[in-house]
Chains A and B, each alone.
Chain A
Amino acid sequence: MYDIRSSCLSGFRHRLLLSYLLLLLSLFPFNIASAAETAIEIIDQMEALYQGESSRASMTMIVETPQYQRTIELEASSMGTENSFIRIISPRKDRGIATLKLDMEMWNYLPKINKVIKVPPSMMMGSWMGSDFTNDDLVKQTTLTDEYALTLEETDELYTIVLVPKEETVTVWGKIDYIVNKQYMVPVAQNFYDDNGEIIRKLEFTELKDFAGRMIPSRLEMIPMNKEGNKTIVIYDNLEFNPPGVDESIFTLRNLRSRF
């Protein structure tokens, strides 16, 4: 009662009280919100790391299994987070096989039979070209920041963001640990767990390299924990941002079908 009366009496006091109240307000819920925001920001930053506004990359993918080892050279272009286009350069047998992702949809093109095959939603967790990466890993159909609840933990060198799927999210993962290097702001590892909290696969980011002024891990190693002796390594040989020639015409079914 006293406060109100006095605030009426004095403009200065009134302002002081208001700012005090604001401060008080901001202390509680806003504090939590800002932490989540940081987590979202970090993830968004990580996910955009390899893409920029548009990008073009040359990669080598090495698929290792107990039975065989296979090396594939790829060329990938992307525009924003929605559009990406990947084409196999070698081996000769598979040359020209291409994958196009537009928004939420994905197609593969097989030049030998001149056929475009749409990847159905049920195949999103299926292997891409026999590797340990899933189609979903490639096209990032699930947006981590939208579909998962994030909590941020911090040490001196690392951010660990724990992603737990929201109730309505359709996913096979029970939890994802996303570990980020604070100094360079680059991903270090992602650990994928199932519903029972058991680790299913690990994605490790190593060998920082300077691509057009950005320090980015150039070697990605995907290790499925339930398949002994299997792993897939992706090495970025070259990565350009906003390169000339990467425009909307690349991300079309017509381009997917074009002879290469």
Chain B
Amino acid sequence: MPVETRHHLTLPAVSGSLEELRGFCKKVLNIHHLDDRIYRQVVLALDEAAANIVEHGYPEGGLQKIEVGIDIQPDRVVIELRDTGIPFNPLSLHQGPKEKGFSKRGYGIHLIRQIMDEIGYRRSDHGENILTMTKRIQEAVSK
């Protein structure tokens, strides 16, 4: 029987869901026996992206959801996050390490940019934020 390559999970958009989300991601990546470094980077990127949705997409809280899709292809891992929160493009944030000194926050998007190969955002006609992140498997060793 072929191994399923597409995996989905829907979670409440609250910070308490992040541990379950990481567990789901680890379980999926374990099925496909990915390199340990890719494994860690993909789990981190997904966690950071979801945490951003909780913080920026649903600042008022409430019974909202995040839909997560993980697609394991032979040469890449593609992660998609969908939410119906307020329009929020994480790529519009230009946060990250300062040249001098340091800031107390804003490292999440910087880390995602550093460890993932492609990141895309669009707002669908149905009012969804759709964030797509791709990690190419062959190049992971050098990043």
Q: Do A and B bind each other?
A: no
Residue positions of A touching B, CB distance < 8 A: none
Interface residues of B (CB under 8 A from A): none
